[in-house]
Amino acid sequence: MKQLVRTFALVFVAAFALMILTSYLNKSQGYSGGNTLTIYNWGDYIDPDLLTEFEEETGMKVIYQTFDSNEAMLTKIEQGGTTFDVAIPSEYAISKMKEENLLVALDHSKLPNLKNIDARFMNLSFDEDNKFSIPYFWGTVGVVFNPELVDGLTFESWNDLWDPRLKNQILLLDGAREVMGMGLNSLGYSLNDTNEDHLQEALTKLSTLTPNVRAIVGDEIKMLLANEEAAVGLVWSGDASEIMDENDKLDYMVPEEGSNLWFDNMVIPTTARNVEGAHQFINFMLDPDHAARNAEYVGYSTPNAAALELLPEDITEDERFYPDETLTGKLEVYDNLGKKMLSHYNDLFLEFKMHSK
């Protein structure tokens, strides 16, 4: 009898432990069953009320995880073991995921709201016919600065960041392509350059910026700049708009040598368990009201023409955040440089980070 009780107890404990373990694994691996939807997005990149509304409307439960760079997102999806239903990478990462067969072809008949996207953002070279990706936000990379803290300096060129008056005053976003791109652009090279001499030259140039670099940071860059903890930041345009909402002394500019124009898009990775729900979510985000509220909440520029109509004019007519084609035509979109070159960029960026500490 005692033996039986003990066996029972043991089986019970083991089953319980297994339950806890699976629930933990499901959470950490982004498991989605029929009624859950697992979303993998950049940090600070959605209005959380929209997730709640989506859950209420569909009865699905959203599991939400974030990343802070395309490289981190790619590594996680490439290594497998995840079950993300929707992810939101940028164009060069999408092109790489397509190459690696990591994306599900979309069923446009399930995305009637796709008609709301401005034709200017459709059918771009990284995904012709939008077979795998649907526009989410777009923008530029540039410099946010606080005119009161920069000792009369004005900003036009990347090279202005090297001014000794900016000692310890610059915050950089933590992105390999963005920081390497700044180094390359400041020398007049393309931010897609793969010439080894140019890349080394860019690294050397960047290492001379280190006296001015206060820190390389993630999403906290917005709080630090708004609180005037530093005078200058290398940021994505939408973060600049968010910072300027908090502190209207600050301004944003895109350097004259050129910079990056980027497009973030919703995709369904082949890891998805709920492809139907993923389409429902994408369509939900394409709704004009949802897209407008999302843009207002996160501060980024929407590619949704119908949503633009709903946004205040002081947002949509601000050329810094809704630049026209004359400016965007001078900017470069990141190319998919291939696995080897991308990891080389990462290594060079790491080397720079080590110098900056």
Phi, psi (deg, nearest 5) at residue 41: -135, 165
Q: At what angle do helices 91-99 and 70-78 cross, to 10 degrees?
A: 20
User: What does the per-residue mask of binding to ligand N2P show for 221-250, with x meaning CB under 6 A?
Assistant: ---------------x--------------
Question: Residue with structure tokens 């016919």?
Answer: 129
**Span near ligand N2P by CB under 6 A; candidates 9-17, 37-45, 46-54, 162-170:** 37-45
Contact 100, 248 (CB under 8 A): no
Nearest 5 degrees, angle CA 52-CA 42-CA 159?
145
Q: Can you read off the two tokens belonging to residue 104? A: 């599900």
Query: String of b and e for 43-80 (b: at least 16 CB within 10 Å)?
Result: ebbbeeebbeebeeeeebebbebbbbbbbebbebbeee
Structure tokens given for 76? 């996680």
Q: What is the CA angle 342-348-351, rounded to 5?
A: 145
Is 92 annotated as belonging to a binding site? yes
334 in contact with ligand N2P (CB under 6 A): no
321 in contact with ligand N2P (CB under 6 A)? no
Size of the site for ligand N2P (CB under 6 A): 9
Tell me the two tokens of residue 281.
Answer: 């979510």
Q: Which of 71, 91, 193, 264 binds ligand N2P (CB under 6 A)?
A: 264
Q: Which of 45, 132, 252, 349 binds ligand N2P (CB under 6 A)?
A: 45
281 near ligand N2P, rule: CB under 6 A = no
Name which of 60 and 73 has its Cβ closer to ligand N2P. 73
Query: Which range, of 38-46, 54-62, 91-99, 185-193, touches ligand N2P by CB under 6 A?
Result: 38-46
Q: x/- string (CB under 6 A) for ligand N2P, residues 169-208? A: ----------------------------------------
Q: Which of 53, 55, 78, 219 binds ligand N2P (CB under 6 A)?
A: 219
Nearer to ligand N2P, 42 or 321 (CB): 42
- 44 touching ligand N2P, by CB under 6 A: yes
Q: Is 294 a residue that touches ligand N2P (CB under 6 A)? A: no
Q: Under the criterion CB under 6 A, does residue 48 sit at the interface with ligand N2P?
A: no
CB contact at 8 A, 203 and 349: no
Question: Is the Cα torsion angle 259, 178, 71, 229 positive or negative in sign?
Answer: negative
Q: Is 248 exposed, middle or buried (0-12, 13-18, 19+ CB in 10 A)?
A: exposed
Q: Quick check: 40 binds ligand N2P (CB under 6 A)?
A: no
Residue of 145, 252, 262, 352 that binds ligand N2P (CB under 6 A): 262
Instruction: Determine the Cα–Cα distance for residues 314 and 13; give it in Å rounded to an integer.
Output: 61
Rounded least distance, CB 151 to ligand N2P, Å: 29
Angle at 240 between CA 84 and CA 154, to 5 degrees: 145
Binding test (CB under 6 A) with ligand N2P, winner from 40, 42, 126, 145: 42
Burial class of 160 by CB neighbour count within 10 A (0 to 12, 13 to 18, 19+)? buried
- Complex with ligand N2P: residue 31 or 64, whichever CB lies closer: 64
For residue 293, the minimal CB distance to ligand N2P (Å) is 16
Which residues belong to the annotated binding site for spermidine? 92
Which residues belong to the annotated binding site? 92
Binding interface with ligand N2P (CB under 6 A): 42-45, 90, 219, 236, 262, 264
